[in-house]
């Protein structure tokens, strides 16, 4: 099902009047998704769009946002609304960043550099995946300091160390350690059609093209095979001291979904990124927005909390911030923008969402992000 299927006929007018859709005329992220999908081949589209198994968590991320009801306040002077916030001391135009995703080269020739320029230009922040198609240093330059680095810990600790050092040297402001993927979830379309990275792309931060080619004799998704060969599955809470010793950067644990793990994260001095990996890992895991309140309670203000999963509307951003997130991050939405128009596509995506968020604040009677709290959400 595509997102347009959900759009009420007559709501956008485009179905009935057959207006040409373009980045300039797109009025929401769903329309950019249509453009982005159309620009991709089957291999890339299935990689971007798929969730694990039956896609229950993938859908729940969106549905649970839509289900929450707002309690707006009236007769507040909203002639000026300030959407700014800070993440780890970095000022953002609004609480919206870009989540890490592998292989931006599948979407656009300028790959991660286009995403980085867009995020920087919009006063946002980009999280660069370990599995980017562009070396860290080049993205760091394009991001003008507005980037975090996402780490997959590799079985090869020396290689992990060298990746962390390159991220630091390239100006990353945080290390986002992904903890929900000791193995990749089973995205069945990629198994069926044997997802493979096209020969012109590689993962220069962690391996050579020759290493990538070696997995191409295996069965099933080449990605899952490649990933299984590289990533450390033994790492536990006890090993976090090792990671801490490798870097001065703040550490964010990405993939936390429970109060229990939130307590552990805070005790280890790590910030928390609530995520189920866009429904791509453990299917039927709790949706991100449903997990957020218990995580926020458990962290009890000791560390910063972020969220990703299903964010496509300004009201989604509003709800996540009201329930305790300092910022939200866009996974697929940024990829659709990138596929639809490179840097300009990601810029347009961020601009539309920033504007929606500002309007949602105003219509809720909120002048500053600091005024967003749980009283905004119907219990
Ligand atoms: C195509 C794709 C690739 C991804 N690659 C990574 C990755 O390399 N590292 C990571 O931590 N998360 C990765 N993710 C997960 C995202 O960071 C994020 O958690 C998720 O996409 C958020 O959900 P959303 O797509 O609904 O916004 C990926 C997601 C997608 C869709
Ligand atoms: O596809 C993913 O979700 C993902 O996180 C990933 C990252 C690098 C290689 C393979 C998968």
Kindly report, residue by residue over 78-92, the tens digit of the pLDDT. 999 999 999 999 999
Q: Which of 250, 208, 245 is nearest to 226 (CA)?
A: 208
d(CA 109, CA 98): 19
Angle between helices 288-299 and 314-322 (to 10 degrees): 30
Q: What is the mean pLDDT of the chain?
A: 94
Q: Which of 37, 58, 60, 101 to mutate to test the pocket of ligand 1 (most atoms within 8 A of CB)?
A: 101
Q: Bridge partners of 98?
A: 126, 330
Judged by average pLDDT, the poorest of 3-7, 10-14, 36-40, 55-59 is: 3-7
Using an 8 Å Cβ cutoff, are 67 and 319 in contact? no
Nearest CA owner, ligand 2 atom 1? 102
ipTM above 0.90, yes or no: yes
Q: Which has the closest alpha carbon to 338: 108, 49, 103?
A: 108
Instruction: State the pLDDT at residue 14.
Output: 56
> In whole angstroms, how far apart are CA 13 and each of 17, 20, 345?
6, 11, 22
Minimum-distance ligand 1 atom for the alpha carbon of 311 = 27
Q: Which of 47, 58, 277 to mutate to test the pocket of ligand 1 (most atoms within 8 A of CB)?
A: 277
CA dist 328 and 104 (Å) reads 20
Cβ-contact 352, 330 below 8 angstroms: no
Shortest-distance atom of ligand 1 to CA 330: 27
Of 178, 89, 69, which Cα lies nearest the Cα of 127? Answer: 178
Cα gap 31→37, rounded to integer Å: 10
Nearest-CA residue for ligand 1 atom 13 is 101
Q: What is the pLDDT of residues 53-112, one digit of tens each?
A: 999 999 999 999 999 999 999 999 999 999 999 999 999 999 999 999 999 999 999 999
pLDDT per residue as tens digits for the range 136-189:
999 999 999 999 999 999 999 999 999 999 999 999 999 999 999 999 999 999
Annotated active-site residue in 104, 108, 271, 277: 277
The atom number, within ligand 2, closest to the CA of 185 reads: 3
Tokens at residue 224, please? 């899952």
Is 277 noted as a catalytic residue in this protein? yes
Task: Decide: 153 and 181 in contact? Cβ < 8 Å.
Answer: no
**Which ligand has the shortest distance to the CA of 104?**
1
Q: Whose CA is nearest to atom 19 of ligand 1?
A: 277
Q: Predicted confidence band at 360 (pLDDT cuts at 50, 70, 90)?
A: very high
Domains in the chain and their CATH numbers?
A: 26-369 (3.20.20.70)
Whole-angstrom Cα distance, residue 122 to residue 92? Answer: 9
| Site residues for ligand 1, CB cut-off 6 Å | 47-48, 61, 99-102, 129, 131, 150, 178, 254, 275, 277-278, 280, 308-311, 330-333
Ligand 1 centroid distance, CA of 279 (Å): 9
């Amino acid at each position: 099902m595509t997102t347009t299927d959900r759009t009420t006929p007559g709501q956008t007018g485009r179905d009935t009047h057959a207006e040409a859709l373009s980045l300039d005329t797109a009025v929401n992220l769903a329309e950019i998704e249509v453009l982005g999908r159309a620009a991709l081949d089957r291999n890339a589209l299935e990689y971007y769009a798929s969730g694990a198994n039956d896609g229950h968590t993938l859908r729940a991320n969106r549905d649970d946002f839509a289900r929450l009801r707002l309690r707006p306040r009236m007769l507040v002077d909203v002639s000026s609304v300030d959407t700014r916030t800070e993440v780890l001391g970095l000022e953002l135009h609004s609480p919206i960043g870009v989540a890490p995703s592998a292989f931006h080269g599948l979407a656009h020739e300028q790959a991660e550099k286009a995403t980085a320029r867009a995020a920087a230009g919009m006063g946002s922040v980009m999280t660069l995946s370990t599995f980017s198609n562009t070396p860290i240093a080049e993205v760091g330059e394009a991001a003008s300091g507005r980037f975090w680095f996402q780490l997959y810990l590799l079985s090869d600790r020396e290689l992990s160390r060298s990746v962390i050092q390159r991220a630091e040297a390239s100006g990353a402001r945080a290390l986002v350690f992904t903890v929900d993927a000791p193995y990749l979830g089973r995205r069945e379309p990629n198994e069926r059609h044997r997802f493979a990275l096209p020969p012109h792309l590689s993962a220069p931060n962690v391996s050579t093209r020759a290493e990538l080619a070696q997995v191409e004799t295996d069965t099933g998704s080449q990605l899952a095979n490649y990933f299984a060969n590289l990533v450390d599955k033994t790492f536990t809470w006890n090993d976090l001291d090792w990671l801490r010793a490798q870097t001065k950067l703040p550490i964010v644990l990405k993939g936390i979904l429970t109060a229990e793990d939130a307590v552990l994260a805070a005790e280890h001095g790590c910030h928390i990124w609530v995520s189920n990996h866009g429904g791509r890992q453990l299917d039927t895991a709790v949706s991100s927005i449903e997990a957020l309140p218990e995580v926020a309670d458990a962290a009890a203000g000791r560390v910063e909390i972020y969220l990703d999963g299903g964010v496509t509307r300004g009201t989604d951003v509003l709800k996540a911030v009201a329930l305790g997130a300092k910022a939200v991050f866009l996974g697929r939405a940024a990829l659709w923008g990138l596929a639809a128009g490179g840097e300009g596509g990601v810029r347009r995506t961020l601009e539309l969402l920033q504007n929606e968020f500002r309007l949602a604040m105003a219509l809720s009677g909120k002048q500053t992000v600091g005024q967003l709290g749980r009283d905004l959400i119907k219990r």
